[in-house]
Amino acid sequence: MNNETEQARIARPANCKDNGDVTEQHWYGDEVYFGLHYDLHANDSDTVIGAHATPEELIPALRLMSPQWVQTDCKGHPGQTSWYSQAPGATVCQGIVKDALTGWREATRRMGVRLHCHYSGIWDIAAAEKFPDWRVVPNPVEPARQSQKMCPRRGYMEGLLLPQMFELIDRYGVDGFWVDGEQWALEPCYCDLCRAAYTERTGRAEPPTDISSPDWADWMETQRAGFLEYVTRYTEAVHAHHPGVLVCSNWLQTFRDPGEPTTPTDWISGDWWSGTDILRCESRFISTRGKPWDLMLWNFFRDGESGALPIPWTVSSVSRLQQQAALVLAFGGNLQIYENPAGLRDGRLVPWRMQRMGKVGKWALERRELCQGAATIPQAVVLHSEAHYRKKPVKNLFWDYDIQGVEGATYGLLENSLGVDIMDEWALLPRLNDFPLVVAPEQDGMSQAMVDALKAYVEQGGRLLLSGSEVFSRFGAAFIGAQSVSVESNALFHVPTASGMLQLGSISWRMLKPDSARALGFLGKTPLPDAELLPYPAAVLNQVGAGQVLYVPMDLFHFFQRTRYPMVREWLGGLVAAMKPALRIRIKAPGCVDAVLRRKGNKTIIHLINLAQEMPNYTSAAPNIPPVGPVEIAYDTVQIPQRIVLAYEDTAIRRDYRVNSGSGGTTLITVPQVGIHCAVVIE
């Protein structure tokens, strides 16, 4: 054993205080806002782990970035530690030449920065080899294989995970754990414990082995329940061992995990490596969970055509990271950046790369005052029903579920300059009447409680947009205002838009006969707007009580998510306009500008985020962001605003105030152009 491990019992920084009531203190305070994540996933090919992970080398590099917390390498998916673990069952990487964790702890202690460990949980290759009784038992009808994943109900947590976490707390004084390889790595397990849990849950003797079985969803819910119990147990055990230590399970309680966030983890986080689109959804959803949260951007990306020519990872531009960061910061999230310099396995950090990330951090910290602690201004909300989501048969609790409809609705509304939130049933039901517009995109599996609440919402004056052939039966002909004539499968039809006939495709398309509803155009067999039309509406709009429901009888938002056709965006904008939702803030902007509507104290904050890039053929490049504009804002107010300023960018804005015929007036604001991220602040 290396003697360095005997000297590694380093106290926490003086400013990291223990907290006996973790339920009230899940984070360190508003000032801890920008972090660094560094992991290596130590493995058999490593020979120089820790060689340059000394305080003398780390501190100058870390100061170039100035992170307020650091997550460093500990144990990756291969299951090998990059430190000299003494826990029984540990697999220590043979390529360690210096205990890197000692260097990171001492460096962060001197800088007064919190230190977390990146620890791979469910996915542990070494533990699977050493302790076959811990690993997942595969489906008996599949070819025999040995899983690298741990069963959350077997001995892994007690035998390795918790002993190592306690060791890291006691010997190194680490402040938290970012547990990786978790929900997204989980596999269905057929061990005796999982089978017994299924029988207890359902009363059925045997779990299904075929994904087409009607019992499969119950089987996966049994797996999910076991995973949530596992996370709860290790989180509570860490809190009991040392209440000041924080715990996060990567991607738990995020956009791909809707439903009430019951596990007692301290904060929410997920790492994302490709593009900006999913960040638009994740930020809108995670911000409704009621916990501190961050999203982790990668400091490197890989793009281009695959083939014989190897495509290496390359460093991200500052402007690209800022563009992605804006999508997180505007919703009040914290920010961290993942760094793993290609080819360097010795623990060193590259100064010029750290300096670039430091520029992003400075840019982010300038936005903290307006972004942190702000609340949404309700406008349009997209339903992300957990009941619907979990009815799809899947083999993985993260990757396999269908999120395309929710994504498509979010993108389509954003590209029509609406302020958009995403909520599951748990978050939306108590706040449903706050939103002038609710969109339920192909959510035929939503709960009956949600159906009933949406009907009542419309009766009371709300505006509801429903889409999808199958949702018709959930709400009924009387509510929708039309009769179902037939259903076409794998159908292509043309629909009328303001600029012409748009061809759409849907797996299922319902032919309607309006009763009380008004037809919004008719389906066409060809692009001709006035010939070869069918007697079936493209959409119907029905008055119900004081409100309106608009029904599109096909998979509109799945189609838009997959195609992003501009005419689909245009048609959607026309459908929303036909409903005439009561929007106090109305924005006209280029489709590449996201508007985020927030309120903090007496401030109305309209964030404008430019998602354009100079290389449109690539999803990740964006070395420079071309400015776009103008953006026109109309804001109905009772009184003339006392102050209107543009934050973050040096652009002169124009403003005017027009008195309405009734009471109050409308403030008109023009922002000539948006660089990357600016905010109109109105008081």
Largest CA distance in the chain: 85
Q: How large is the C-alpha radius of gyration of the chain?
A: 27
Q: What is the pLDDT of residue 233?
A: 98
Q: What is the pLDDT of residue 624?
A: 79
- Are the beta carbons of 414 and 420 closer than 8 angstroms? yes
What pLDDT digit, counting tens, does each position of 500-537 carry? Answer: 999 999 999 999 999 999 999 999 999 999 999 999 99
- Judged against a pLDDT cut of 60, whether residue 131 lies above it is answered with yes
* Cβ-based neighbours of 558, under 8 Å, separated by 6 or more: 404, 405, 408, 441, 442, 506, 507
Q: Kindly list the distances between the CA atom of residue 120 and the CA atoms of 217, 246, 258, 364, in Å, as whole numbers in the listed order.
A: 27, 16, 23, 28
Pick the CATH number of 3-371 from 3.20.20.80, 3.40.50.150, 3.40.50.2300, 3.40.630.30: 3.20.20.80
What pLDDT digit, counting tens, does each position of 56-80 carry? Answer: 999 999 999 999 999 999 999 999 9
Q: What is the pLDDT of residue 46?
A: 96
- Judged against a pLDDT cut of 50, whether residue 187 lies above it is answered with yes
**Where in the chain is CATH 3.20.20.80?**
3-371
**Where in the chain is CATH 2.60.40.1180?**
586-682
Strands 547-552 and 540-544: antiparallel
- Judged against a pLDDT cut of 50, whether residue 285 lies above it is answered with yes
Q: What's the mean per-residue pLDDT of the chain?
A: 93
Name the fold adopted by 377-582.
Answer: Rossmann fold (3.40.50)
Give me the residues paired with residue 463 across strands. Answer: 437, 548
Q: What is the pLDDT of residue 5?
A: 37
| Helix or strand holding residue 670 (H, E) | strand 665-671
- Judged against a pLDDT cut of 50, whether residue 29 lies above it is answered with yes
- Judged against a pLDDT cut of 60, whether residue 195 lies above it is answered with yes
Residue 441: exposed, middle, or buried by beta-carbon count in 10 A (0-12, 13-18, 19+)?
Answer: buried
> How far apart, in whole angstroms, are the C-alpha atoms of residue 170 and residue 304?
46
**Where in the chain is CATH 3.40.50.880?**
377-582
What pLDDT digit, counting tens, does each position of 565-624 carry? Answer: 999 999 999 999 999 999 999 999 999 999 999 999 999 999 999 999 876 555 555 567
What pLDDT digit, counting tens, does each position of 613-657 carry? Answer: 876 555 555 567 899 999 999 999 988 999 999 999 999 999 999
- Are the beta carbons of 622 and 646 closer than 8 angstroms? no
Q: What is the pLDDT of residue 22?
A: 31
Would you place residue 188 in the very low, low, confident or very high pLDDT band (cuts 50, 70, 90)? very high
Would you place residue 252 in the very low, low, confident or very high pLDDT band (cuts 50, 70, 90)? very high
The 3-class secondary structure across 436-503, one letter per residue, is CEEEEECCCCCCHHHHHHHHHHHHCCCEEEEECCCHHHHHCHHHHCEEEEEEEEEEEEEEEECCEEEE
- Are the beta carbons of 175 and 116 closer than 8 angstroms? yes
Give me the residues paired with residue 679 across strands. Answer: 607, 647
- Are the beta carbons of 121 and 249 closer than 8 angstroms? yes
The mean per-residue pLDDT over the stretch 129-140 comes to 96
CATH no. of 586-682: 2.60.40.1180
DSSP string computed for 343-371 = T--SS---HHHHHHHHHHHHHHHTTHHHH
The mean per-residue pLDDT over the stretch 354-362 comes to 98
> How far apart, in whole angstroms, are the C-alpha atoms of residue 322 and residue 341?
20
